[in-house]
Structure 1
Amino acid sequence: MIKIEEFHHNFMQDIFATADSRSLFYKDSFFETVSDELISTGEIPDNLTSAYYQYLKGRSPMEAHGFAYDDEREILYVITSAFFQEDMAIETLSSKIIEQKLKRARNFIIKSASNLYLDLEETSDEFVMSYFIFDKLQNKKISRIKVILLSDGRISRSYKPIILDNINDISFEAIIVDIEYLYNNYNAQNADSTFTVDVQLPCLPVQTGTEKYQSFLTYITGDQVFNIYDRYGKRLLEQNIRTFLQFKGGVNKGIRNTIDGAPYMFFAYNNGITATASAVEVNERNEIIRIHNLQIVNGGQTTSAIYAAKKNYKADISDVVVQMKLSVVNEATEHLDFVSKVAEYANTQNKVNKSDFFSNSPFHKDFKLYSKSTWTPSQTQERHRWFYERVRGEYLNEQAYMSKTEKRKFELSFPRSKKVEKTFLARSEMAWLQKPDIVSKGGQSSFAAFAEHINNELEKNQLSITEKYFKDAISRIIIFKSLEQIVSNASWYHGGFRANIVAYTVSYFSHYIDEVKKHFDFNAIWEVQSIPDDLYSQFLVLCEQVFNIITNPPMGHGNPSQWSKKRHCWEQIRDSNLQFDIPLKYLIDKQTHSYILREERNQKKMDKSIEAQTLVVSIDYSSWKKVYEYYCVPENRGSISTISFNILGNMAKGKIPVPSYKQAEFLYDAYNQALEEGLVL
């Protein structure tokens, strides 16, 4: 395991590399990186809005760098930061700095409650932040306030928690996210006890027949569900599953009706909760007293409905009892996959889209393989590869056990500037798919929409994610990052809404190419790993026109940030006759494009056949026999074709010494499908 000093150095190098490649200020790169981390772990909602405000004059200086809001629990989050920008040594985050930052954030909230927004520019993000706070407080829609201080320093060992007075009788909580907090998150890898839930639940241990996991049957009361969810919120809900926010649909109405009319029947009527954990502690009375890293993988709507019934409708939930199945995997390397699999198989009560299980998608495997095997073109001997980071921290994980020489070679091969996070890829792709309003809502919204798109593509044709797709997607990222630099350096740009301008420019560019019935030749970007000068100048012209529309929203549509999140904004820009010229050499006709795609898919099909045959011949006879017996069970038989079943039977009986390419493909698919459906070999 790496030490915190090495983690800090790598973390800061990532911040600097991201900032340099995207023309961000270091402080903005830091804020965005840490915020994404907190959103992914469920610490803050995914509707976070960056809004830098600072007023340090007078006796009540104010400062806030962003805000978010949990609609269900009515929690306001105000984010501030103390960024030291030092990569060699970890700075100390002193009690004085912490107190100063928290008081400034508190002053901002108090002043916002007293019409601060009237003194701010109406089109600015700080206006939106201040007015939002004012409006929620006026309408008594804030039950708690959490101020989160982000820092690349480490909390002083002598620090004692600072208690600040409540605001308008609303509890005020301070959370400090320092480098040690981020280091612990990195080490947890979603499997350690990132948080611990204290409970007292009678339980029945279940004999599972394997040492890979433990299982318990238990029950939990409505009040316990309420208190746990009130404390931990969406951190409890497995991140690939949709969260339930309102009473919608027959199932959820039934939950509420049962709570209102016959709470004592809840146990009988409800399917209960399926949960996982990385560890549990059981006392001598056979009661679970502590659960580490509790994740509700099925029953999120039940949990949320019970919470909402008491919070929003003042229902009495003291007689509500819910059964719970709890599975525990102690092995850190298997925990994440286990949680995702349990979530996928358990969620049958309501339809769950395949995008909700995107972490299990073949897309990740294919895109990752191409990122490892595809070298960028170069006029010199120095060639690089793009690193696809599906899980935050993966870039550092790869180097965890390398020597200094090996690390140096790794970073030369995969430069930090060529590291691609999954959410950034999603933003770039959704912009090209002409969904700039979704991109403007943030990385998590983009990722959810991208997951839906990819799963639909894979359903149509699993050969669609080819090496060409990988190169084109990276080229789109190069365009996206280049546009960020273009906007930042433009004479007409004075700060604000850069992300929106870039997303809408990419979308309009994509729309224009569709309109002229052509395809863009991304190879022109891939070959030079940048935007050529003649195209760069046209993008500059296009960006300015998009900027003028976004920053002048129609009356009643809010400020540019709000306006850009609306589909109507895209429709207005899409239907505008923006002036720019794409040199014809960058466009290819549809016939040529179709030919290139067909050749790529044929190549992938051949590669898949070779991969299938290699795997098939490496699997022993006993495993093929188990797979065959699995499909002999009536309820499993219908999931593969008769041809596949017959070939599998012959393979299990030893009648196919060396399968042909076609036979190998049938066997390969049947084998993987059985494993995905839960067969353990």
Structure 2
Amino acid sequence: MATIEEFHIDFLQTILSEADSRGLFNSQSFYEIVCEELVSTGELTVNYTEADYLKIGGRSPMEACGYDFDEERGILSVLVHQFYQTNTIETITRQTIEQKFNRVKNFIISSFEGLYKKLEQTSPAYSMTYFIFSKFERKEIKKIRLFLVSDGKITRTFRSINAEGIAGITLEYRIVDIEYLYKNHISQNSDSSFEVEMNLPCLRIPIESDKYSSYLSYFTGDQLVDIYENFGQRLLEQNVRTFLQFKGGVNKGIRNTIEGAPEMFFAYNNGITATASKLEFDHDGNIRKIHNLQIVNGGQTTSSIYAAKKNAKLDVSNVTVQMKISVVGSEENHSDFVSKVAEYANTQNKVNKSDFFSNSPFHKEFKQYSSRLWAPMSSGSQKMTRWFYERVRGEYLNEQAYLTKAKQKQFQLENPKSQVVDKTFLSKSENAWLQKPDIVCRGAQYSFADFAVYITDLLEKDNLAITENYFKDSIARVILFKAVEKLISQSDWYNGGYRAQTVAYTISYLSWFTRSKQKKYFNFNEIWTSQKIEDDLIDVLKVVTKEVYNSITNPPFGHANVSQWCKKQECWKEIKKMNIEEIKIPSRYYLESEEVQYIKKEVVTEKKMDSGIEIQTFVYELGVEKWNRLYEYFSLRENRSTITLTQFDILKKVAKGNIVLPSEKQANILFKLYEKAINEGLIL
């Protein structure tokens, strides 16, 4: 495992690489990366927004670098950063901490008093201050959190700050330093992530398994509200659904039960299915502490009870919610176990297969191409490199953890920082080309959730859709996305703000123009081959970016908040109305429909061949012993009728050793039987 010093160096290099390749200020790159971490831990929602404001002079200096609002819990988070950008870990002094927090407090107070009236309406700072003002005026802010984020480390002498309120609203302080980020890196999916202290009676279920243990218990409505109040979406970071509040029929039913017959809640509601990495008990056998509690089914129940008390002011003290909780025996299997429990748990509202994207073969296949394919050499370079797909943040650093210094250097040369692509960034570049700029503008995590639906539908229609060509085109779209980011930052017309929105709408417009106006397909192989955007395409992008920026920063009457306007479908409709005569995309970037179909046919044929060999190898390497266990499983009366006579005959022959090297067709049949048994719960 990397030390905190090694993590700090890697973290800094990631920031600098992202900033350079995307045309960001280093501080912007830092802010975005840290906020994504805070979203993953549940500290922020997916709607966090960057918006700088700085006023040093005068009696009340003010500072803020972004904000977030948890609509459900009414929590306003305002962030400020102290970015040192040094190779060694700096110490954040108490003086710096107090100075930063005082500035952001002054900013919030001023925003409550109408600071937005003094700002330019098209600036991100205006959107931020107006948003805060409007939420305050409507009394929607229940709690304020001040975040100081830094690549430094808190001084050892610092203890705490007295948390007085602002305008009668509870105030909390959060300091996110390099140690916080490091601990988050090393403790992902471990039982040390957080602990819930409770006093719950429980009944252990007599299950003979070394994989997990299960218990039955219950929460009172007030207990459930307190847990969600303290931990929020950290309880659901591995859950499959976003809260629906009272929009669905189930939630309306929950509310009606709470209002009219709270004592019947236990009988009417299916309760909660949860997992934990560890339970601690008192001397009476009651649960006193739950490590890493995850509500994998029952998020709507939790949300509805919380909203009933906090928003509708209903009494939930007589509500009782049953809980089935399973404790995973092995830390390394925790994530997969949670996903399986979530997938098979009874649900109150339909959960689509796409909600379990973490287990999608997409990641495995995309990673395989990432590890196997070398990118073409460009810009006179004589060193071949790869594009590293990082499904989990920190994976790039972890792969180097046990390498020698020489091997680390070789790894970094072959997988440069500038060519690391994480799943959320990939979703943004893909969704932008899929003409979903409004989705991209809602944030990286929201974009990723939408991308999960798209990919799942794609794979359900065609399980061979993720080909080598798809990988290359996707990387080309990443290159395009980063090039547009950099182009905007360097443009003389760019005054700052709304760069992310301009990027998303520019790429979506280019996609729309190619397909709808030109009736062509874009030839991404031109970008993959050169590994950059050539000047002739840059000239086109210069025109489009400027027009898009002018359009989104001058929204129709009634849509003064540019950030919110860009999240609406209406904004995309307005952009498509633009008539830019100067667009002349060089013909080499176009493909005809016939060419696209031919390329697709070729790559699918090649993938079928590769997949066939992989499956044959898997069947052979699984071994006769495990195939014999599968044969015994499907020989059981209740299972025998679920497969055909042909399938059973092939399984019997391979289990008895009569087939040593199955054909491709036989291997496919055997592999499907293997998957069927595993999905039904067989443990080999």
Would the TM-score normalized by the shorter structure come out above 0.5?
yes
> C-alpha distance in 1, partners of 2:637/2:257?
37
> C-alpha distance in 2, partners of 1:73/1:498?
29
Bigger shift: residues 267-276 or 425-434: 267-276
**Is the contact made by 1:53 and 1:65 (CA closer than 8 Å) also made in structure 2?**
yes
Pair 1:494-2:466 in alignment: no
Question: What secondary structure does 2:464 align onto?
Answer: helix
Change (3 A) 1:183 1:347: farther
> C-alpha distance in 2, partners of 1:397/1:67?
31
Change (3 A) 1:199 1:663: same
2:622: which partner in 1?
619
**Is the contact made by 1:73 and 1:143 (CA closer than 8 Å) also made in structure 2?**
yes
Change (3 A) 1:380 1:129: closer
Query: Given residue 152 of structure 1, which amino acid in structure 2 is its aligned partner?
Result: D
Bigger shift: residues 324-333 or 661-670: 324-333
Summarize deviations over 1:628-669 as a string: whole Å, max 9, x none: 444456776677666544433443344433211111011112
Query: Given residue 404 of structure 2, which amino acid in structure 1 is its aligned partner?
Result: S
Change (3 A) 1:112 1:527: same
Query: Given residue 519 of structure 2, which amino acid in structure 1 is its aligned partner?
Result: K
Bigger shift: residues 141-150 or 538-547: 538-547
Query: Given residue 406 of structure 2, which amino acid in structure 1 is its aligned partner?
Result: T
Bigger shift: residues 637-646 or 325-334: 637-646
> C-alpha distance in 2, partners of 1:240/1:113?
35
Pair 1:80-2:80 in alignment: yes
**Is the contact made by 1:67 and 1:79 (CA closer than 8 Å) also made in structure 2?**
yes
Bigger shift: residues 621-630 or 100-109: 621-630
Shift of 1:71: 1.2
Give the 5 Å matches for 1:580-659: 580-631=583-634, 643-659=646-662
**Is the contact made by 1:197 and 1:228 (CA closer than 8 Å) also made in structure 2?**
yes
> C-alpha distance in 2, partners of 1:623/1:444?
40
Summarize deviations over 1:115-173 as a string: whole Å, max 9, x none: 11111111111111111211122221111111111110000000020114211211100
Question: What secondary structure does 1:462 align onto?
Answer: coil
Summarize deviations over 1:442-487 as a string: whole Å, max 9, x none: 1011101111100000000110000000000000000110111111
Shift of 1:189: 1.4
1:525: which partner in 2?
527
**Is the contact made by 1:191 and 1:336 (CA closer than 8 Å) also made in structure 2?**
no
> C-alpha distance in 2, partners of 1:638/1:80?
63
> C-alpha distance in 1, partners of 2:356/2:590?
36
2:537: which partner in 1?
535
Question: What secondary structure does 1:400 align onto?
Answer: coil
Change (3 A) 1:249 1:565: closer
> C-alpha distance in 1, partners of 2:38/2:639?
41
Summarize deviations over 1:506-550 as a string: whole Å, max 9, x none: 111111111222211111111110011211112112211212212
Pair 1:20-2:20 in alignment: yes
**Is the contact made by 1:124 and 1:559 (CA closer than 8 Å) also made in structure 2?**
no
**Is the contact made by 1:95 and 1:160 (CA closer than 8 Å) also made in structure 2?**
no
Query: Given residue 34 of structure 2, which amino acid in structure 1 is its aligned partner?
Result: V
Shift of 1:294: 0.8
Query: Given residue 78 of structure 1, which amino acid in structure 2 is its aligned partner?
Result: V
> C-alpha distance in 2, partners of 1:632/1:324?
36
1:31: which partner in 2?
31
Shift of 1:104: 0.8
**Is the contact made by 1:38 and 1:44 (CA closer than 8 Å) also made in structure 2?**
yes
Change (3 A) 1:639 1:223: farther
Shift of 1:329: 2.1
**Is the contact made by 2:238 and 2:339 (CA closer than 8 Å) also made in structure 1?**
no
2:483: which partner in 1?
482
2:425: which partner in 1?
424
Question: What secondary structure does 1:149 align onto?
Answer: strand
Summarize deviations over 1:344-365 as a string: whole Å, max 9, x none: 1115332112222111101000
Question: What secondary structure does 1:220 align onto?
Answer: strand
Question: What secondary structure does 2:675 align onto?
Answer: helix
Query: Given residue 8 of structure 1, which amino acid in structure 2 is its aligned partner?
Result: H
2:267: which partner in 1?
268
Query: Given residue 258 of structure 1, which amino acid in structure 2 is its aligned partner?
Result: T
Provide the alpha-carbon RMSD of the alignment: 1.7
> C-alpha distance in 1, partners of 2:553/2:233?
34
Give the 5 Å matches for 1:123-202: 123-202=122-201
Summarize deviations over 1:227-258 as a string: whole Å, max 9, x none: 11111111111434112241233322222222
> C-alpha distance in 2, partners of 1:347/1:410?
45
Change (3 A) 1:407 1:138: same
Q: How many residues align structurally?
A: 680
Question: What secondary structure does 1:297 align onto?
Answer: strand
Shift of 1:211: 2.1
Shift of 1:313: 2.0
Query: Given residue 539 of structure 2, which amino acid in structure 1 is its aligned partner?
Result: S
Shift of 1:39: 0.8
**Is the contact made by 2:238 and 2:294 (CA closer than 8 Å) also made in structure 1?**
no
**Is the contact made by 1:240 and 1:358 (CA closer than 8 Å) also made in structure 2?**
no
Question: What secondary structure does 2:325 align onto?
Answer: strand
Query: Given residue 513 of structure 2, which amino acid in structure 1 is its aligned partner?
Result: Y
1:391: which partner in 2?
392
Query: Given residue 588 of structure 1, which amino acid in structure 2 is its aligned partner?
Result: L
Shift of 1:588: 1.5
Query: Given residue 609 of structure 1, which amino acid in structure 2 is its aligned partner?
Result: G
Query: Given residue 392 of structure 2, which amino acid in structure 1 is its aligned partner?
Result: V
1:103: which partner in 2?
102
Pair 1:320-2:325 in alignment: no
**Is the contact made by 1:214 and 1:328 (CA closer than 8 Å) also made in structure 2?**
yes
Question: What secondary structure does 1:527 align onto?
Answer: helix
Shift of 1:66: 0.9
**Is the contact made by 2:66 and 2:79 (CA closer than 8 Å) also made in structure 1?**
yes
> C-alpha distance in 1, partners of 2:679/2:413?
37
Question: What secondary structure does 2:280 align onto?
Answer: strand
Question: What secondary structure does 1:80 align onto?
Answer: strand
Question: What secondary structure does 1:474 align onto?
Answer: helix
Shift of 1:577: 1.8
1:237: which partner in 2?
236
1:571: which partner in 2?
573
Query: Given residue 41 of structure 2, which amino acid in structure 1 is its aligned partner?
Result: T
Question: What secondary structure does 1:123 align onto?
Answer: coil
1:112: which partner in 2?
111
Give the 5 Å matches for 1:276-355: 276-355=275-354
Bigger shift: residues 508-517 or 474-483: 508-517
Query: Given residue 57 of structure 1, which amino acid in structure 2 is its aligned partner?
Result: G
Pair 1:57-2:57 in alignment: yes
> C-alpha distance in 2, partners of 1:431/1:36?
19
Q: Percent identity?
A: 55
> C-alpha distance in 2, partners of 1:640/1:36?
46
Pair 1:222-2:230 in alignment: no
**Is the contact made by 2:502 and 2:545 (CA closer than 8 Å) also made in structure 1?**
yes
Question: What secondary structure does 1:464 align onto?
Answer: coil
Give the 5 Å matches for 1:38-49: 38-49=38-49
**Is the contact made by 2:240 and 2:342 (CA closer than 8 Å) also made in structure 1?**
yes
Give the 5 Å matches for 1:550-561: 550-561=552-563
> C-alpha distance in 2, partners of 1:670/1:461?
20
- Structure 2 gaps of 5+ residues are none
2:369: which partner in 1?
370
